[in-house]
């Protein structure tokens, strides 16, 4: 490993370990940290050392020479004048807190015609992180998508992009509501569809406030009330989805998110006064029903993602992609 790589490695580990804000950007939708994806920034910081071609380019850089006298090499371009050193400088600037210099460096790499696609993708992802920290989630999503299009088969880029898109979707929401905030208007739909969607959003808000009551006398009835109310609002969103376009994506996403929330809502602590054998049986029943609702949620998310891609539906698609991954993670652990 070159001195450059050793320096970046050491400083990257220290910065990522100590920077709570950076770590917060790579949390999963459930608040945990993903091993691998959770250290996306560290892996990105080491990008200049990871690729054989980039290792060849980013080697020991000689001290800057005094060019006050005539220099026969003046104006001659070498590999050390390319994009890789600029990327390394930008990474170091970011890790030391100089965001202005970091942004300028990453933008230079992204704009350079001679930047290798993997390096340009990493620059785009770093810029996306900076945009997300600055509160510009829309631009962060665009940059994350650009990164994945530049390097579609790069696992680090894919995972980092997914985490940034998830964080951007969360920024667009409010409170503990999954996905875009309640009341988000659908662009380009008819007044009738807009009115139906607004009504469904109000109904969802009421459903969201329902919670199973963990007391023996109300346990069964409160669970049934939550399930019935969820099915009713899902039916509303499914009817909206029949209109196609952005209504299809948003309607199916909201249907899935209601099932998703219902599944998680069924996993609560049972009353301590319950007989242990009864409690064990009830836990198995609730877990089985929760998994069934998670599968329904995943099916709705897939239908949302299977709709034609439209610019006005992008936020809803990203939300469906994020929550489908979350549901699949839970189903994979069943």
Res 7: pLDDT: 43
- In a domain? residue 72: no
- In a domain? residue 77: no
- In a domain? residue 184: no
- In a domain? residue 255: yes
Res 289: pLDDT: 92
- Both 249 and 127 in one domain: the answer is no
- Both 247 and 135 in one domain: the answer is no
- In a domain? residue 303: yes
Q: Which residue has the tokens 């929330």?
A: 261
- Both 23 and 161 in one domain: the answer is yes
- Both 155 and 224 in one domain: the answer is no
- In a domain? residue 181: no
With a cut of 50, list the residues of the chain below it in pLDDT: 1-80, 174
Res 133: pLDDT: 82
Question: DSSP state, 136?
Answer: -
Q: Is 110 helix (H, G, I), strand (E, B) or coil?
A: helix
The total number of structural domains that make up the chain: 2
- Both 90 and 157 in one domain: the answer is yes
Question: DSSP state, 181?
Answer: P
Q: Which of 172, 205, 231 is the last residue of a domain?
A: 172
Q: Which of 140, 172, 204 is the last residue of a domain?
A: 172
- Both 154 and 214 in one domain: the answer is no
- Both 12 and 101 in one domain: the answer is yes
The boundaries of the domain holding residue 304 are: 191-332
Count of alpha carbons within 13 Å of 287, Cβ hemisphere only?
Answer: 12
Res 169: pLDDT: 60
- Both 162 and 284 in one domain: the answer is no
CB under 8 Å to 266, separation ≥6 — which residues?
212, 223, 286, 287, 289, 290, 293
Res 164: pLDDT: 77
Q: Which of 172, 206, 227 is the last residue of a domain?
A: 172
CB under 8 Å to 289, separation ≥6 — which residues?
263, 266
- In a domain? residue 274: yes
- In a domain? residue 69: no
Q: How far apart are the first and last CA of the chain?
A: 42
Res 168: pLDDT: 65
- Both 203 and 160 in one domain: the answer is no
What would the two tokens of residue 164 be?
Answer: 């940034």
Res 178: pLDDT: 80
- Both 221 and 165 in one domain: the answer is no
- Both 260 and 324 in one domain: the answer is yes
Q: Whole-angstrom Cα distance, residue 165 to residue 150?
A: 16
Res 200: pLDDT: 96
Q: Write the pLDDT tens digit of every residue in 117-165.
A: 899 999 999 998 898 887 776 567 678 778 877 888 888 887 887 777 6
- Both 156 and 305 in one domain: the answer is no
Q: Are 294 and 267 in contact (CB under 8 A)?
A: no
């Amino acid at each position: 490993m070159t001195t450059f790589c050793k320096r970046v490695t050491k400083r990257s580990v220290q910065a990522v370990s100590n920077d709570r804000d950076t770590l917060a950007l790579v949390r999963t939708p459930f608040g945990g940290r993903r091993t691998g994806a959770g250290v996306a920034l560290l892996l990105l910081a080491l990008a200049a050392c990871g690729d054989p071609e980039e290792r060849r380019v980013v080697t020991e850089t000689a001290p800057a020479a005094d060019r006050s006298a005539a220099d026969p090499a003046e104006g001659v371009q070498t590999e050390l004048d390319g994009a890789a050193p600029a990327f390394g400088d930008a990474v170091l600037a970011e890790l030391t807190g100089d965001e202005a210099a970091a942004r300028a460096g990453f933008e230079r790499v992204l704009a350079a015609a001679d930047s290798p696609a993997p390096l340009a993708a990493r620059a785009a992802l770093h810029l996306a992180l900076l945009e997300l920290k600055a509160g510009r989630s829309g631009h962060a999503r665009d940059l994350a998508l650009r990164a994945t299009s530049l390097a579609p088969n790069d696992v680090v880029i894919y995972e980092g992009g997914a985490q940034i898109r998830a964080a951007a979707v969360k920024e667009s929401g409010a409170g503990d509501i999954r996905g875009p905030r309640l009341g988000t208007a659908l662009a380009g739909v008819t007044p009738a569809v807009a009115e139906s969607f607004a009504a469904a959003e109000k109904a969802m808000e009421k459903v969201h406030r329902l919670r199973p009551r963990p007391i023996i006398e109300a346990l069964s009835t409160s669970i049934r009330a939550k399930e019935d109310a969820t099915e009713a609002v899902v039916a509303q969103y499914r009817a909206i989805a029949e209109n196609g376009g952005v209504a299809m994506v948003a309607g199916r996403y909201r249907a899935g998110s209601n099932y998703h929330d219902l599944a998680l809502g069924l996993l609560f602590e049972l009353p301590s006064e319950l007989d242990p054998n009864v409690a064990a049986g009830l836990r198995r029943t609730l877990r089985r029903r929760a998994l069934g609702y998670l599968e329904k949620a995943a099916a709705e998310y897939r239908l949302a993602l299977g709709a034609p891609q439209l610019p006005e539906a992008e936020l809803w698609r990203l939300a469906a992609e994020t929550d489908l991954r979350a549901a699949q993670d839970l189903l994979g652990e069943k």
